[in-house]
Amino acid sequence: MGRLSGRLDDVTADAGYEDHPPRVGFFTDTSVCIGCKACEVACKTWNSVPDDGYLLTGMSYDNTQALGASTWRHVAFVEKSSEVSLPVDLGMPSMSLPGADPSAAGQATESGDGVVTWLMSSDVCKHCTHAACLDVCPTGSLFRTEFGTVVVQPDICNGCGYCVPACPYGVIDLREDDGRAFKCTLCYDRLKEGQQPACAQACPTESIQFGELDELRERADARLAELHEKGVDVARLYGRDPEDGVGGGGAFFLLLDEPEVYGLPPDPVVTTRDLGSIWKHVAMAAAALTGVGVAAAVGRRR
Amino acid sequence: MTPRGETSMVPPPEFESYYGRQIIKTPTWKTPDVPLYLFLGGMGGASAVLAEVAASSGRPDLERVARVTAAGSAALGTVALVHDLGRPERFLNMLRVLKPTSPLSVGSFILAPFASLSGAAAASFLTGRLPRLGRLAGVGAAALGPPLATYTGALLANTAVPAWHEAHRELPFIFAGSGAAAAGGMAMVFSPCAQAGPARRMVLMGAAMEIVGAERLLDRIGLVGEPYRTGRPGRLMSVSRSLTAVAAGATLVLGRRSRAVSALAGAACVGASVLTRFGIFEAGLASARDPKYTVVPQKERIAARERAAVGR
Ligand code: SF4
């Protein structure tokens, strides 16, 4: 049993690998996401993830809705009308004609008399340092790979469903017709071939960056500093901090609003951080029940 | 804090969300499989304890009921648990590894021997064969009974489901109390008053433990306790508590004298125990479905941390 919470610099070694490649992950920079959903499509195609229905949701351009057993990348769309436009070039590829008004670049666009600010973000399994799904899995189907990622082994999963409510981000789910749990594997098969995951490969704007986690964190810090310098004070990193409730994500994000606006929990904590207290209270209650039995025995003889 | 049952004058907490969608997933555990399993584990575990009390004080009628209840609950509970799996044929994968971080793994390693031992004890008692071995099996089941009745508290609490996780201190006690009341109740229904003394005492102590546990829970956990008070789970919880209290009162006053009251009160205890499990189970589902219970406490945590950092 590895460490259950707090900072953990070598999660792969903690999981028992002696010799292992560096931990890898995703840095998803949502400030340059254009909402093209190439990641969703690439993921579905590469991993042969089955179709999970097509619903018109009325949630902006998001008909995918949420991560789930058959959705391992999910692009969230938030449309916010605001009075002021963002006069900032976020440094993303411009879709406008050469010489067009540069203020229309970035995630803001003029429409009618208002300005719509677009928030788009491609969400994915966080491959937590302290992964609740893995901790609670009774069969050992969920495991930590040599790359430090968290993967389900479908040949072992018995569909108990414990990982589903354990994940603080609502990532993993059971596939109904199949009965087993599925989620992003960070393209374990591609990693083993030295390739990058399909979504990162397909992303045209480098919103999804794949790499060694340490390096990604440095890149993210630099990007955040750059945005702050340009006056984009709303920019923040989410899941980057190795001291946070899940010990930092293997996949982390640069966001332009509060996490909950994107459907992310603002301060997720791995449930097993409280495991000691949980088992202690079970032990005390079990002792109390034994005590009830003993007390019931010593009453009057009738 | 607002007194329970009254509507709060404080406006509901403001929070943002992604189109009002829930953040965590709703548990996929099925109803009635899982709440019934929680109930059967509690009643069965406590019945194994009661069976030993009966055996060591020479109450064969009480012992019979308790042994059969323990074995029957374990068998039915196992069926419910296996039926809940997405891949039932792979149930044995539960016993591939023993993981202390997974209450379901630990629970499987409690349930499997409990089911065998309580089954052996009941078979031996009913047939009169191998009485010594049977008794030994009964003692083993009685040792595993309390962990079986209480680990389910950890099973629910060790999740991101707000109403369950925040209740991790009280859930095992509520389950232990509710299990004792159900075991005692079952025995009161099926054994003569003259032998049911220990069963009555178990009902009284169990009911007290369950009610005190539930009260403490509601006083302690604030906003995420709301699902235990409102809607369908709230009604289930409050009916269960009233039923338990009335049944315990009847047991105390008339349990020794009236066979009819004894049977009725006992049945009420069993029913209340079922309602408690459904109430707690459904309160968890409700707290998973509403992003409020995930977002608001987490925002408060962040704010508290920021205040502490400024104060330093
Ligand atoms: S985000 Fe959820 S599914 Fe992914 S590793 Fe963390 S706990 Fe597991």
Task: Ligand 1, residue A184: give the atom nearest the CA.
Answer: 4
- Assess A79–B contact: CB distance below 8 Å, yes or no: no
A103-149 pLDDT per residue, tens: 434 565 555 556 778 899 999 999 999 999 999 999 999 999 999 99
A contact residues 226-255, partner B, Cβ 8 Å cutoff? none
The two structure tokens encoding residue A23: 């931990």
Cα(A64)–Cα(A217) distance, integer angstroms: 29
Q: Residue A40: what pLDDT? A: 97
User: Does residue A108 have its Cβ closer than 6 Å to ligand 1?
Assistant: no
Residue with tokens 């606006």: A261
Nearest chain A residue to B201 by CA distance is A296
3-state secondary structure (DSSP) of residue A251 = strand
- The fold adopted by the segment(s) B28-310 is Formate dehydrogenase/DMSO reductase fold (1.20.1630)
B198 cis-preceded (ω within 30 degrees of 0): no
Query: Closest partner residue to B198 among A140, A265, A297, by Cβ?
Result: A297
**Residue A142: its H or E element:** strand A142-144
Residues A201-227 have pLDDT tens digits of 999 999 999 999 999 999 999 999 999
A250 CA → ligand 1 middle, Å: 10
ipTM of the complex: 0.95
Q: Are A61 and A146 in contact (CB under 8 A)?
A: no
Cβ separation B87–A157 shorter than 8 A: yes
Cβ-based burial of A20 (10 A; exposed 0-12, middle 13-18, buried ≥19): middle
A272 vs B93, B101, B151: nearest CB: B101
Say if A278 is an interface residue toward chain B (CB within 8 Å): yes
3-state secondary structure A59-71: CCCCCCCCCECCE
Q: Is A115 in the pocket of ligand 1 (CB under 6 A)?
A: no
Identity of residue B94: M
Asked if B216 has any chain A CB less than 8 Å from its own CB, the reply is no
Q: Does residue A130's CB lie within 6 angstroms of at least one atom of ligand 1?
A: no
Per cent of chain A over pLDDT 90 is 80
Q: Which pLDDT score, from 0 to 100, does residue A102 have?
A: 40
Q: Convert the pLDDT of each residue in A153-189 to its tens digit.
A: 999 999 999 999 999 999 999 999 999 999 999 999 9
Query: Nearest-CA residue of chain B relative to A174?
Result: B28
The Å distance, Cα A167 to ligand 1 centre, comes to: 5
Please choose from A11, A24, A124, A126 the residue to mutate so as to test ligand 1's pocket, defined by most ligand atoms within 8 A of CB: A126
CA nearest to B135, candidates B67, B183, B220, B187: B67
The answer to whether residues A136 and A165 touch, using CB atoms and an 8 Å cutoff, is no
Alpha-carbon gap: A67 to the closest alpha carbon of chain B (Å) = 10
Helix axes B259-289, B171-190, angle to 10 degrees: 150
Contact of A300 with chain B, judged by CB distance below 8 Å, is answered with: yes
Which chain A residue is nearest to residue B104, measuring alpha carbons? A138
DSSP A76-100: EEEEEEESS------SPPP-SPTTS
Closest partner residue to B158 (CB to CB) among A141, A278, A290 is A278
Does residue A99 register a pLDDT over 70?
A: no
Atom of ligand 1 nearest to the CA of A134: 8
**Interface check B31 vs A, CB under 8 A:** no
Of all residues in chain A, what percent carry a pLDDT higher than 70? 87
Dig out the tokens for A38 from the structure: 């190439």
Segments of chain B with pLDDT less than 70: 1-13, 312
Q: Hey, what amino acid is at B179?
A: G
Give residue for tokens 């060790």: B158
Strands A251-255 and A24-29: parallel
- What's the fold here for domain A11-271? Alpha-Beta Plaits (3.30.70)
| Ligand 1 binding pocket includes A169 (Cβ within 6 Å) | yes
- The pTM score is 0.93
pLDDT of residue A108: 58
pLDDT at residue A178, rounded to an integer: 95
Q: Which one has a higher pLDDT value, A85 or A107? A: A107
Check pocket membership of A128 for ligand 1, CB cut-off 6 A: yes
The answer to whether the CB atoms of A296 and B22 lie below 8 A apart is no
Collapsed DSSP state (helix, strand, coil) of residue A121: strand
What's the CA-to-centroid distance between A156 and ligand 1, angstroms? Answer: 18
Ligand 1 pocket mutation, candidates A142, A153, A164, A183, criterion most atoms within 8 A of CB: A183
Instruction: Convert the pLDDT of each residue in A231-250 to its tens digit.
Output: 999 999 999 999 999 999 99
Q: Which residues of A109-144 are buried (b: 16+ CB within 10 A; e: fewer)?
A: eeeeeebbbbbbbbbbbbbbbbbbbbbbbbbbbbeb
What are B21's two structure tokens? 């969608």
Cα(B148)–Cα(A285) distance, integer angstroms? 11
Residue A98 has pLDDT above 80, yes or no: no
**Integer Cα distance of A260 and A258 in angstroms:** 6
The answer to whether the Cβ–Cβ distance between B102 and A289 falls below 8 Å is: no
Residue A293 has pLDDT above 80, yes or no: yes
Sign of CA pseudo-dihedral A267, A271, A277, A278:
positive
Residue B124 backbone phi and psi in degrees, to 5:
-65, -40
Measured in angstroms, the CA of B95 and the nearest CA of chain A are apart by 7
Q: Does residue A264 have its Cβ closer than 6 Å to ligand 1?
A: no
What are the structural domain ranges in chain A?
11-271, 274-302
